[in-house]
Chain A
Amino acid sequence: MAFNGTLRTAIDIGGTFTDLASYDVVTRSVRFEKALSTPAALDEGVLECFDKGSIDPAAMELFIHGSTVAINTIVQRTGARTALVTTAGFADVYEIGRANRPDTYNLFFEKPAPLVPATMRFSVRERVVPDGRVLVALKPTAIARVLKQIKAQNVQAVAVCLLHAYANPKHEAAIGRAIRRALPDVFVTLSHEILREYREYERTSTTVLNAYVGHQVSSYLRAIERPLRARSFNGRFLIMQSNGGVMTAKRAVQVPVAMMESGPAGGIIGAAELGKLIGEQDVIAFDMGGTTAKTCLIENGLPKMTDQYYIGGYRDGYPMRIPAVDIIEVGAGGGSIAWIDAGGALKVGPKSAGSSPGPVCYARGGIEPTVTDANLVTGRLNPTRFLGGEFDLDTAGAQAAIEERIGRPLHMKVLEAACGIIRIADARMSFAVRAITLQRGYDPRRFTMVAFGGAGPLHAMAIARELHIPRVIIPPQPGHFSALGMLLTDLRQDFVQTRVTDLTGLTAVQINEGFGSIEMQARASIAREGHAAEAVALLRSMDMRYLGQEYTVRVSVADDLSDPDTLAMLRQRFDVTYDLRYGHSSPEQPVQIVNFRVTAIGRVDKPDLASLQDKRIPVTSTSRERLVYFEGHGHLHCPVVQRAEIAEGSVIVGPAIIEEYASTTMLYPGDRALVNKYGCLVIETGGQ
């Protein structure tokens, strides 16, 4: 494919800022921009970034975009007027859900409010059974009747989810055809087009989410694309997906649910790619911003994935069964508020001061002390160089707030209280890291942490210490790393087919057949994205379990299963994977296959990370040393280094502070940072 442009540009929309990273393939240079996010009309912030950075859309060969538009549509409930069609007798499944109470001891718990109310749920007489046989055929009269009901409701979108449609989608397809023919303006989502996996509630919920956000996402993408095209943007428009890959904007319009967690995935992919570049295949990605910290495990260069998560949170959110980068998020960021509970225990977060009123030290009306205030009071942050000196911080105000609200009630000195706030925030974040490592059977001591986000470099070393992580990497431009990461992604689609089968007695031929139809579907789908077939890799895996269990463990499967030994190896690999995860296995027990999975990856040419050096003019420093308070040490003299001034090969020994625009790296006593040839800080954790 011939494109004239030389720029690859990525834009990431976060809660506070919209970030742009643009890479010029000719000059091999990268440019970064930041603009305030515009939640009311997200496209405005995007276009502002273009203008601010004078990026010429005509010069772009590629535009990659990650956005919160889909998730915002759910959270704000501004989606389409949506109808749901189900098998007769099961129209309430969507409202019943799983009947569980995550908020267990709350007598006033709430179930997720259905996005489709009972009055908009219609059903058809038909029935398919688990092996795909049709028990009750769908009659044309039934289709006609439901079509009439839908028309009467004047809907914008329809979700169709019939029982066992994952095994035989014939009936869903027939209904889909009828609606699309009769109501061409209505956005139709059929469950089997989104996922072919059993569990009707989760599949229904995922289908409804897709239908519900369809209109908003299409018009949003049009709003972004149109002005760019008007300015002669002639390249490819790709959308970041929750699974860490990208898809064409055309596909995003069909499967908008795949971009639900589009934002944070970019940074995780960036961390994985950075790891590969410098020979670190096993990485803990750590991203800390203003309100939350996010972490994800990367093993052998691949981020861990999850098959299900909850839009709007586990307590009362909507389940979505779409593979997504498995990010654990905790409410601990720079703006997280420190408070004392009724029992007298010090807590940090999850409430955040956000950007308004912000931490006390912003002097914009905040009165509750935050993590940022504690960092300032202890000398970790520079009061005069915040955001490159865009505004000064109020140290006295922060001190007073910590003293009054934390120190005095706990009988602690203000500096001790400030250290306590930092330590609790660090502990909360380290629990998130523990959850993706120790709790899943991974030893953090064999991983390297890649820390980014505005606040990540400030807290990374404490977390590394807590969990004995030996090495931490701070990439250049940690505050823009998520946008940068988007430039490093491939096209990706995930396919699944539930087919519960005993492994014993299966032949390699049967397993190959099981994958065959899915792979055909995968190839066709990637081809529709306009991607050359030869650049597509198909990865097979299976979800397996011991007979009698419900939860499965995923095992990757070789392309060629003709060798009889491969079956035995498959079995063995399952036992080993199981043992790694849970600490025991039962090699003598029969095993079942539940799902066949195929991941299709269309390789995209990517910029060379090695060339992504910061070309900004260094800021001159105001001081070369300041006092920083450490728990157990008291005040220590810390050298203060400007990151832009340190050359490749430089070594900085902690305690020390490394400042740059929008981020600060904190080295503890004993830490040792080396600047590598890519401009990364490679820090060996001290005190191990």
Chain B
Amino acid sequence: MRDAVMPLLRQRADPITVEVIGNSLAAIAEEMTVNLARTAHSTIVYEVQDFCTGLLDAEGRLVAQPGAGLPLFVGDLDAAVGDGLALYGPDGFAPGDVILTNHTGTCGQHLNNIVVYTPAFFEGKLIGFPATRAHWTDVGGRLAGGFLTDAETSFEEGIQLRTLKVYKHGAPDEELFRILRHNIRHPEASFGDLHAQIAACRMAERRLQELYARYGADIVGDAIATGWDQTERMVQAAIRTYPNGRYVAESFLDDDGVDLGRPVPIRVSVIVEDGSLTVDFSKMSPQVRGPINSGSAAGRSAARLALKYLVAPNVMANHGCFRPLKTILPEGTLISAREPAAMSWWQTPILTVIDTILLAMSKARPDRIPAGHYSDISAMLLTGWDSRTHRAYTNIEPVAGGWGARPHGDGPNATYTIGHGDTFNIPVEVLETRYPLHVERYALRCDSGGPGQYRGGLGLERIYRMLDNGMFNGLSERSKCLPWGLKNGLPGKSGSIALKRHGQVKLEHFQKITGLKLKRGDLLMFATGGGGGYGDPLTRPPERVAEDVRMGYVSIEKARQSYGVVIDPRTGVVDLTRTKALRSGSLRRNLVRKRPATTKATSRKRLN
């Protein structure tokens, strides 16, 4: 034994060793994310963090997944690796293999999300799989960059690559690479990202081998299992802080992009029972024609992500973390769609699914759940030719929005969705240097936060001027089922996309748009939604409302209409007498009548 002061190795890991090995595994997964983010070749990976990394054991169970990367991807790498294990068998891997998959039937996400993993061996035995997922800028399909809002099958969206060994025994499969090279639009950029993914996995293989060499396979295995048990107990204990019961909630999306105007209901129920949590999706909308479906791996991941937010924010995502969670998810729903469902915008409904689970749980512990957030990727995909650099460009960019007010405070302004995490916006100065775009305005959006005793966070406005011709795909959701308030708080505003053609005065508005041709000088205007309010807005102290007006968060008109606070436009001072009169009189009756009673789609008529 190397170290004289180390305890004699036993077959079982002592509590200290469990902790040390657990930290080491977390550090390895963390190191993978750092390497991948820093070496990736597209903004969507390194700024938007549209990627994840993780370590899985030889049976494909999640050992460690760091907090960085996209939360949307929490705990669904096991599906991708599971498909490899099923196809090749546990003995079907060799050192130096690299497996790639984006199969919608396996991963349940849009085809741009490419999982790359490698088998790790120690003393000739398979010990696990380091795995990564990264968003490739292009995977073929009808239009550059994907993100079609009108696709009806996955065939329009790109090439399906189901569990392929792109490297065998360390050597690239040239034939596969030939297929890839001629089926995707920017192979150099995507291969750059592929190499970054492979390098991250290889590094993790080496680190795992070092760890196994130091402690031995038995001890590491035991430490992993014990770590899972500890995590499971923590999660169970946290679930027990919610009262047992069945909690139901419902919301809906505007439409699926194909059957325009037909709402898509999101129905969940959550059952809490003695430290276990069941998310029942049986009443979820059936799968739809348009590209907002996702597969069951994604549906399960939505439940897992909700669990993280509810009870395990500081717990490492691993197999044990999700053991207390049961998911009831029949096949063929919006989030368990069958092939060849289109999935370009798979992530948009997932956000509302998570928020709806939280809404259900607000009935169990109203003190712990904020009001609804803007819940919309508000993403833009802009492609074109940059005549300054003579290069094609692709800019994919989600836009941040407002978060719901909390039981004891206002909602945060302009922050990425619940499906994003440590995701960064693209700085204006970087954007203008990189792409033929000019940003005219980037500002908080006045009056977008839902009124309440605590106000919802504000969304954003971002205006781009085209410096060259280009093409645009975009999607804005939740214009009907607005980000909800809680405890008589009012909803936040929804987002919008508008176009002002060069030389025109009129604005064109879009909810879902694909392949829109833009010309030099056109203005593309984004507004994102705000968060819902918490508590009755008529109880917000008038001075707080006046402060919001001074800050430009709330307009004088809105202060009067929604908060019943009358402010002198010249001095900014509250007129207390008129405020009192307004708050106790007509406005109260008005507000109560206007307050949306439900987030249910069924209460609304089909629009067209």
Contacts and interface: CB of A to CB of B under 8 A. Distances in A.
B551 A117 contact: yes
A669 B5 contact: yes
A420 interface: yes
A111 interface: yes
B67 interface: yes
B442 A104 contact: no
B603 to A, nearest CB: 27
A549 B41 contact: yes
B534 interface: no
A105 B443 contact: no
B26 to A, nearest CB: 9
Contacts of A104: 67-68, 71, 313, 421-422
Interface string B299-329: 0000000001100111100000000000000
A99 B37 contact: no
A427 B18 CA distance: 12
A96 B203 contact: no
Interface in A69-106: 89-93, 95-106
Task: Pick the most buried of B67, B199, B421: most chain A CB atoms within 10 A of its CB.
Answer: B421
Contacts of B199: 582-584
B428 A95 contact: no
A308 B441 CA distance: 26
Interface in B1-36: 2-8, 15-16, 18-20, 22-23, 27, 31, 34-35
Interface string B360-382: 00000000111000000000000
B430 interface: yes
A686 B4 contact: yes
B118 interface: no
Interface in A329-345: 341-345
Contacts, number: 224
Contacts of A551: 37-39, 46
Interface stretch (A194-202, A298-306, A350-358, A564-572): A194-202
Contact of A111 (B8, B406, B412): B412
A346 to B, nearest CB: 6
A200 B207 CA distance: 38
Nearest to A423: B16
Given A96-B400, A550-B46, A130 B413 contact: no
A129 interface: yes
A101 B415 contact: yes
A198 B430 contact: yes
B442 A93 contact: yes
A289 B420 CA distance: 37
Nearest to A552: B38
B234 A343 contact: yes
Interface string B522-544: 00000000000000000000000
Contacts of B8: 632
A98 B404 CA distance: 19
A4 interface: no
Contact of A427 (B4, B23, B196, B416): B23
Contacts of A108: 370, 406
Given A90-B428, A198-B430, A344-B230, A105 B552 contact: no
A687 interface: yes
A114 B46 CA distance: 26
A104 B52 CA distance: 14
Given A104-B67, A163-B428, A427 B19 contact: yes
Nearest to A167: B429
B432 interface: yes
A431 B416 contact: no
A107 B553 CA distance: 22
A410 interface: yes
Given A119-B550, A198-B430, A98 B425 contact: yes
Given A89-B443, A92-B444, A584-B199, A198 B192 contact: no
B425 to A, nearest CB: 5
Nearest to B460: A96
Given A105-B312, A198-B433, A424-B20, A345 B428 contact: no
Interface string A407-446: 0001010000001100110011001001100110000000
B238 A342 contact: yes
A668 B433 contact: no
A99 B237 CA distance: 32
Contacts of A346: 15-16, 19
B274 interface: no
Interface in B225-275: 229-234, 237-238
Interface size range of chain B in the complex? 35 or more
B551 A431 contact: no
Interface in A583-598: 583-584, 586, 589
A546 B231 CA distance: 41
B554 to A, nearest CB: 11
Contact of B6 (A199, A345, A631): A631
B215 to A, nearest CB: 12
Contacts of A582: 35, 38-39, 196, 199
A426 B491 CA distance: 50
Contacts of A102: 422
Nearest to A90: B442
A170 interface: no
A586 B4 contact: no
Contact of B230 (A103, A343, A412, A670): A343
A178 B599 CA distance: 55
Nearest to A549: B41
A129 B18 CA distance: 55
B79 interface: no
A100 B189 contact: no
A597 B309 CA distance: 43
A688 interface: yes
A97 B416 CA distance: 11
B67 A105 contact: yes
B71 A105 contact: yes
Contact of B308 (A105, A199, A631): A105
A111 B422 contact: no
B501 interface: no
Nearest to A108: B406
Contacts of A549: 39-41, 46, 192
A92 B443 contact: yes
Task: Pick the most buried of B23, B550, B553: most chain A CB atoms within 10 A of its CB.
Answer: B23
Contacts of B229: 343
Nearest to B3: A687
Contacts of B64: none
A546 B192 contact: yes
Contacts of B443: 89-92
A164 B231 CA distance: 48
A521 to B, nearest CB: 21
Contacts of B234: 341-343
Contacts of B313: 103-107
A223 interface: no
B551 A200 contact: no
17 contacts: A89-B440, A93-B428, A97-B414, A99-B415, A107-B369, A109-B415, A111-B415, A119-B550, A130-B433, A198-B429, A199-B430, A431-B23, A548-B41, A582-B39, A583-B199, A584-B199, A668-B5
Interface of B: 2-8, 15-16, 18-20, 22-23, 27, 31, 34-35, 37-43, 46-47, 67-68, 71, 188-189, 192, 195-196, 199, 202-203, 207, 229-234, 237-238, 308-309, 312-315, 358, 368-370, 400, 406, 412-416, 420-425, 427-430, 432-433, 438, 440-444, 460, 463, 550-553
Given A90-B443, A101-B423, A582-B196, 6 more contacts: A95-B414, A105-B67, A118-B551, A130-B432, A343-B230, A346-B15
Interface of A: 89-93, 95-111, 117-119, 129-130, 163-164, 166, 198-202, 341-347, 410, 412, 419-420, 423-424, 427-428, 431, 434-435, 438-439, 462, 465, 500, 546, 548-551, 582-584, 586, 589, 630-633, 668-670, 686-688
Query: Which 5 A-B pairs have CB atoms at the shortest separation, nearest pair first?
Result: A99-B400, A343-B234, A104-B421, A343-B230, A105-B313
